[in-house]
Chain A
């Protein structure tokens, strides 16, 4: 299966700043997704990153807070904007090569906001 490289792997940020997380896949994928995992919790889907168009956000997540780019079939970014301590979490990107195949995940970005 494809491999996703995600960076940074961790960061400590000040409140009010923004952080951009990058995901690079080693082959083209049809779909990419961004998830958040708060401490001790399961994964929550933030949005589907659509190639060449605006991302599709899940309920509770908005573009102004989590702008996403996907310029091509192998790369996507998620920005966490105007951060607060409540944004401290692990952020994961994932991809799928074909509609009914399994998702594969990056190793995650552990974000701490002070």
Chain B
């Protein structure tokens, strides 16, 4: 599975959009991009995933560049409860193991 690169940490003002980047320049055509987050002292929480098209759900939007080498997770109106570590993970669509390998992620601090 392709490796991802994320900034170690980011800050965001409460109420503003949080844009979290992820680089996956070695991604192949059959690999999905998944985003998870982990709030302190809790298990990770699935946010969203996509293959090529942009995706949106009740939590966030995922924007994938046309060449698929990078993506951005957007939390449209960040709140203090969105403070967490955000993980971007790439996994093969055809993988029959289903496993996910976590990197170090981005620590997002939402400030009042």
Q: Tally of A-B residue pairs with Cβ under 8 A?
A: 56
Residue of B nearest to A105 (CB): B43
Q: How extensive is the interface on chain B, given as a class?
A: 20 to 34
* Residues of B3-57 contacting chain A, CB below 8 A: 32, 34, 36, 42-47, 49
Chain B interface SS verdict (over half): loop
Whether the pair A107, B99 counts as a contact (CB closer than 8 A) is no
CB distance from B65 to the nearest CB of A (A): 21
Whether the pair B98, A56 counts as a contact (CB closer than 8 A) is no
Whether the pair A105, B100 counts as a contact (CB closer than 8 A) is no
CB distance from B83 to the nearest CB of A (A): 16
Q: How extensive is the interface on chain A, given as a class?
A: 20 to 34
Whether the pair A107, B42 counts as a contact (CB closer than 8 A) is yes
Report A-chain residues with C-beta under 8 Å of the C-beta of B42: 107-108
Whether the pair A104, B46 counts as a contact (CB closer than 8 A) is yes
Whether the pair A105, B44 counts as a contact (CB closer than 8 A) is yes
Which one of B36, B42, B43 has the highest number of Cβ atoms from chain A below 10 Å of its Cβ? B43
Residues of A whose CB lies within 8 Å of any CB of B are 1, 30-31, 33, 35, 42-45, 48, 56, 92, 94, 96, 99-100, 102-108
18 CB contacts below 8 A, A to B, read A30-B98, A31-B98, A31-B99, A42-B103, A43-B102, A45-B100, A45-B101, A48-B97, A48-B98, A92-B43, A100-B49, A100-B93, A102-B47, A103-B46, A104-B45, A104-B46, A105-B44, A108-B42
